[in-house]
Amino acid sequence: MCFFAKARNCTLLALFGISAGGHLVSLLGTSQGVAALEGRVGVPEGREPQAVPPLAAIANYCGVANFLTFPGKGSVISEEDPKGPIAQLFGGPMSRHQEAARLASPVAYITRDDPPFLHIHGTKDELVPYDQVQEFDASLEKAGVASTVLTGRDGSHVFVSEDLFRKLRAFFDYRLLGAGEAPAEGPVAVK
């Protein structure tokens, strides 16, 4: 999901993704400007791609941050299942696609120029273990990138609550409109 805001004659763009979408928006947030990942899909021959406005904020809800540390840490997803989601993503078991796994990991591209991140993750996530958000948050902060984790105590892979919606709205209002305050790191209600 994209959010746009006009401010001082420029367009601000923020992205929000859940699960696989959380992974994708995180990858977009950390890999802007990485020439090897730029493409020309949908760009007519002889024309240059249009410039994408810089990302003002990323909200990652339960997305994988590092495929190399993802497997075997409490997830019901097997990285070696030949028909599982990992094999579908990489074209086979991850043990045979380590470089592709690294290249698909948002943590591989973190720089100090990345946009601020808001992460939402449950401690009982059965698909993407909670340690993924801890690793991502620590890596972003080490690079000097603003990163906030909202932790759903005993929350499963995706949970919904009024508290979560309020904090998510506050994050986008603050980052896109300069209104209110950014949510503080800490717990978020899971129901």
29, 55 in Cβ contact below 8 A?
Answer: yes
pLDDT reported for residue 53: 76
pLDDT reported for residue 47: 85
The counts of H helices and E strands in the chain are 5, 6
Residue 141 counted as domain residue: yes
pLDDT reported for residue 72: 64
Residue 44 counted as domain residue: no
Rounded distance, CA 153 to CA 105, Å? Answer: 25
Identity of the residue numbered 177: L
Residue 128 counted as domain residue: yes
Rounded distance, CA 16 to CA 76, Å? Answer: 24
Q: What is the pTM of this model?
A: 0.91
pLDDT reported for residue 44: 86
Residue (of 191, 136, 130, 111) closest to 159 by Cα position: 191
The residue range of the domain holding 57 is: 2-33+53-66+105-187
Identity of the residue numbered 74: G
Residue 84 counted as domain residue: no
Distance, CA of 29 to chain centre: 7
Residue 27 counted as domain residue: yes
pLDDT reported for residue 140: 98
Residue 168 counted as domain residue: yes
Residue 57 counted as domain residue: yes
Residue 152 counted as domain residue: yes
Domain count, the chain: 1
pLDDT reported for residue 78: 86
Residue 181: give its domain's CATH number: 3.40.50.1820
| CA 25 vs CA 1, 10, 15, 35, 64: distances in Å | 9, 21, 6, 17, 11
pLDDT reported for residue 25: 97
The tens place of each residue's pLDDT in the chain, 191 residues long, gives 655 555 555 678 899 999 999 999 999 999 998 888 877 777 888 888 777 778 999 999 999 999 999 866 678 888 888 898 889 999 999 889 999 999 999 999 999 999 999 999 999 999 999 999 999 999 999 999 999 999 999 999 999 999 999 999 999 999 999 999 999 999 999 99
